[in-house]
Structure 1
Amino acid sequence: MSHTPQSASSDIATDTRSGVSRRGFLAGAGAAAGAVAVLPAFTAAPARAAAISNGASVPALIIGTGYGGSVAALRLAQAGVPVEMVEMGMTWDTPGSDGKIFPKVTAPDKRAYWLRTKSKAPVSNFFGFPIDSDIPRYTGVLDAEEFAGITVYQGRGVGGGSLVNGGMAVTPKRTRFAGILPSVDANEMYDTYYPRANAGLGVGQIDATWFESADCYQYARVGRKHAQRSGFAWTFVPDVYDWNYMKAEQAGTVPRSALDGQVMYGNDYGKKSLVQTYLAQALATGRVNVSSLHKVTSVTPASGGGYTVTIDQINTNGDTVATKTVTAAKVFFAAGSVGTSKLLVKLKATGALPLLNNEVGKGWGDNGNVMCGRANHMWDPTGTLQSTIPCSGIDNWDAGGAFAEVAPLPTGIETYASLYLSITNTTRRAEFTWNAAANKVDLSWQTAWKQDSINMAKSIFDKINSKEGTIYRTDLFGGYKIWQDGLTYHPLGGVVLNKATDNYGRLQGYDGLYAIDGSLIPGNTTVNPFVTITALAERNIDNILANDPM
């Protein structure tokens, strides 16, 4: 097993990751420019800023460094507001002994998972054999957080979910927007904020001509052929991967990442995560500091105004090694749908923020995620080289309520399999509640609710199987299961806009507290959600800066 960026036994008290400076962060920001000469984030020895100090008083504190938090940090800093960002995960900028920051999907090590001792891959079996393996406990990049009815996959580290997703950057069809965020003006979103988000994220399209001959997308061309022969619409999907770099990967002129099995445990080279885009710009202002391996545990009104924020500093084993108390005039909750929802539900129930309204914790959904695989005929090979970055999907939303990403299965061998992640039009919503006896937050999701999503996905794949004379794979998800119905990659909701907050994310009951992440979106975006999260954050921070004193 290769060494990871930092020894699991290292102590945060001496861990140079605890604070991130502008220079250190920008060392690997070349990917944002879209040039072929994309450099990994560890190309220079970074200078470090100090982590946030015990007793500090700050104008704005942002909890989390994902999409919403990164937008807020950039726009606040550009407006002249000093910003402290607190991130529970690590700063991923140092290679292990294998020369890579991140492991492959086929070889998870301690870098892969957040404080687990066994991996938990979404595709848990192969040819009927379990593939999860024992790993050392470590603050790895992917959290497989288990609730009673569902496992929620989330990014852990500076950059949040942008570190571990496939980069599919999809703007929902305008006709569907009213069903996603009914209180938001669609005109301003599509005229101003979606374009701003797409530009800020570095969204681009695959070269359609190159796609036709690229070995690494044979699997996607097979998916297209089968979809179209069954009468389904097939479409290219935008992405934040550097497509010129992808071409160079296939040509063998640059180090591989997407073509070397990197995606859900991070990507070393071609993907433009927030580290290369919004966060790099925010740090370049000189007004933003990031404290990694810091976890917010409490926010309460301070006697002299603003808020007292309690923060645990942790080491790479997850142990608390210091507790800090700081004061912030404004606090932005950007810990992701689950993180923000859990924290606010706890703070309301335990009396830290009792004036939060009863909508906090409600309206959570899984974006209708469900996975399946199909066993193709021997004359339909999907290729031994597969890019981990999806570039296409099957659209049956209007007729069957499902959009299916044509997903890779990058095993390095020919599988004759097509894998799909579907987003479906499910209306199921769960609630986070405080379990005082267990001192934790529960989620009311029920696995049986996934049957709605399965039925919608079947509107595509039953027809394809019938047309092609193929069957579902039963060896990928354990126990002869056809459907992976126990997960979501796209958690949404829990602090729903215009219910738990006002129409711009201000938390009801408390001036100066804001939610600015995927918790604001009630359960479904009809597509991969991060562009919508980013655009909504752009809209909300515009209004906050225009109307709230900073």
Structure 2
Amino acid sequence: MSDNGVSRDGSNGFSRRGFLAGTGSILGAVALSAQVTSAHAAQTATTTAAAIDDGARVPVLIIGTGYGGSVAALRLAQAGVDVHMVEMGMAWDTPGTDGKIFAHTTKPDYRSYWLRTRTKAPLSNFLGFPIDKNVPKYTGILDAEEMGGITVYQGRGVGGGSLVNGGMAVTPKRANFGSVLPSVNADEMYNTYYPRANAGLGVGLVDPAWFDTVACYQYARVGRKHAQRSGFPFVFVPDVYDWDYMKQEAAGTVPKSAVDGEILYGNNHGKKSLQQTYIAAAKATGKVSISPLHQVTSVAPASGGGYTVTINQLTTDGTVTATKTVTSDRVFFAAGSVGTSKLLVWLKATGVLPNLNDEIGKGWGENGNVMCGRANHMWDPTGKVQAAIPCAGIDNWDAGGAFAEVAPLPTGIETYASFYLSITKNPHRAQFSWNAAAGKVELNWQTAWKQPSIDMAKTIFDKINSKEGTIYRTDLFGTNKIWGDHLTYHPLGGAVLNRATDNYGRLHGYTGLYVIDGALIPGNTTVNPFVTITALAERNIEKIIATDL
């Protein structure tokens, strides 16, 4: 869920038993993760041929290239509309000095982080020792944006969040859908738009027989055993990885990607990101162009109709080299929950789009994300080689308000650890607001609001620990800290459907302005959200094409 194509600050400047064995090897892995490639001279190239011209006029401009924006681009192009997409991040289509487009999870380099000089990994410690290290400032693929008591991880580049997520393509249970999008017809979503989204994304399921025997999913089999022994349903979860390719990875017949632990900073081979699916199909129409390293700073009504969009062109160190003004008949905000919300809040508060309603900025949530690790016994090794693509989860949503994906910990050594990302029924919602004195948009999330998520996750893991005689790991998120309660991978809300917009994403107060990304969803999807974002975009753009164009 990315904040692609929009200014970072939303302002006008825009501006013990934990390791029963192998401690030495683990510390070695920590040292490995600290190795930073500084070959900055041969920076990853980006596509510039499609860069939009100053003064251009386009029928449709889409801010961002994540799930919602990519769906809109494809369907509009298929309807005969010329579309230009503006992307804050890079194209990620050219290898670096190592011959690979994306950096390895344990070897972060200049490609890894968005304009940071120090890494900020979700799992920041081993045995209490910090592992984050200095990196060259660069327009890298992962943004760790700190605000309001939370770090929001977002993808930066053509493809948005699809570049950096685990690819878990989960459709919510039908019974839960009413709490996710109460104004949307569930029959239409489950009969038409979820199937359409899953087909467009290339969703597939791991082969259960292969899963049962392959070494790289030993960690998930341990997770299954522990869940089932405590009476919890264990479910296989669809994904957008090419499972035939992963089988070849495990067999050693193709270059390894997921089986080599690639996940956090991109995946070089088997993952079907939006670059390989919706964006590829959109480009193939010949009616879609994309400007990478272009950052929208304003959208204002144009005197002759349509909207004047102000865009900064960036270099790979974040320097603005040009400011362009283009005009578009229609503008789609698809910069991710954070990016879309911050830009709209600033536009309303500063009088650029004063007719936006008072729901702008409200209803933001973090999908109840919380992480933890468990220290297993020596007779329950989780495996030295772990596929970085999760494919299974523990479902205690109805009884305890938590769904936990069994996550990899691909360090390359045996850790005897089980690692989890939980999605919970956290009721707290935050709001974006404009701080004129500070000159930026702020979020009022409070870290203490994660406590319901912790309590819900504990309904699973307290029981498993009691049954297995195991304990929580305390060395992964700091010193003597059990819960990763400082982050989210799943930002949602801020321009909620049927509140800030009508029931199809049209912004109130302005004809021709639309929201079509995760900002529409009020804070929680009960599962990993990108399939729902994609399906909702399919629903909304079909209606918009039929009635507005």
- Superposed, 1:89-488 pairs within 5 Å as 89-488=89-488
Could you tell me how far 1:514 is from its partner in structure 2? 0.1
Deviation, structure 1 residue 461 = 0.2
Deviation at 1:17, TM superposition (A): 2.5
Code of the residue aligned with 1:434 in structure 2: it is W
Q: CA contact under 8 A between 1:2 and 1:97: conserved in structure 2? A: no
Match of 2:522 in 1: 522
Q: Which whole-Å CA distance do the structure 1 matches of 2:229 and 2:426 have between them?
A: 27
CA contact (8 A) 2:37 2:108 kept: no
Aligned partners of 1:267 and 1:540: how far apart in 2?
30
Counterpart residue number, 1:41: none
Q: 1:375·1:416 contact (CA, 8 Å) conserved in 2? A: yes
Query: Deviation at 1:479?
Result: 2.2
Q: CA RMSD in A?
A: 1.1
Where does the alignment leave 5 or more consecutive residues of structure 2 unmatched?
1-35
| Counterpart-to-counterpart distance in 1, 2:39 and 2:91 | 12
Write the distance in 1 (CA, Å) between the matches of 2:127 and 2:456.
Answer: 26
Change (3 A) 1:523 1:5: farther
How do 1:34-73 residues align onto structure 2 when only pairs under 5 Å count? 49-73=49-73
Which residue does 1:35 correspond to in 2? none
2:378 partner letter: M
Distance 1:153 1:89 in 2: 14
Shift of 1:148: 2.6
- How far did residue 154 of structure 1 move? 0.2
User: Which of 40, 46, 49 matches 1:17?
Assistant: 46
> TM-score, with normalisation over the residues of structure 1?
0.92
| Residue identity in the other structure for 1:17 | T
CA contact (8 A) 2:42 2:97 kept: no
For 2:14, the equivalent position in structure 1 comes to none
CA distance in 1, matches of 2:47, 2:294: 8
Give the match for residue 6 of structure 2.
Answer: none
Task: Measure the CA separation in 1 of the matches of 2:405 and 2:267.
Answer: 19
- Residue by residue over 1:492-518, the C-alpha shift from the partner in whole angstroms, topping out at 9 and shown as x without a partner, is 000000000000000000000000000
* Cα displacement (A) at 1:261: 1.7
Question: In structure 1, how many angstroms separate the alpha carbons of the residues matched to 2:83 and 2:522?
Answer: 28
Q: Distance in 1 between matches of 2:523 and 2:223?
A: 28
Secondary structure of the corresponding residue to residue 374 of structure 1: strand
In structure 1, distance between residues paired with 2:212 and 2:97: 37
| CA distance in structure 2 between the partners assigned to 1:210 and 1:82 by the alignment | 44
Report the counterpart of residue 31 of structure 1 in structure 2.
Answer: none
Which residue pairs with 1:80 in the alignment?
A: 80
Q: Distance in 1 between matches of 2:493 and 2:198?
A: 22
Question: In the aligned structure 2, how far is the partner of 1:189 from the partner of 1:5?
Answer: 46
Residue pair 1:90, 1:158 contacting (<8 A) in 2 also? yes
The TM-score, its normalising length taken from structure 2, stands at: 0.93
Does residue 1:497 correspond to 2:497, yes or no? yes
* Contact 2:40/2:136, CA 8 A, preserved across alignment: no
State the distance in 2 between where 1:517 and 1:148 align. 22
Q: Structure 1: which 5+ residue stretches go unaligned?
A: 11-15, 20-48
Aligned residues: 514
Deviation at 1:137, TM superposition (A): 0.4
SS at match of 1:187: helix
Amino acid at match of 1:504: Y
Identity across aligned pairs (percent)?
Answer: 75
Deviations 1:187-210 (A, max 9, x none): 000000000000000000000000
Shift in Å, 1:104:
1.4
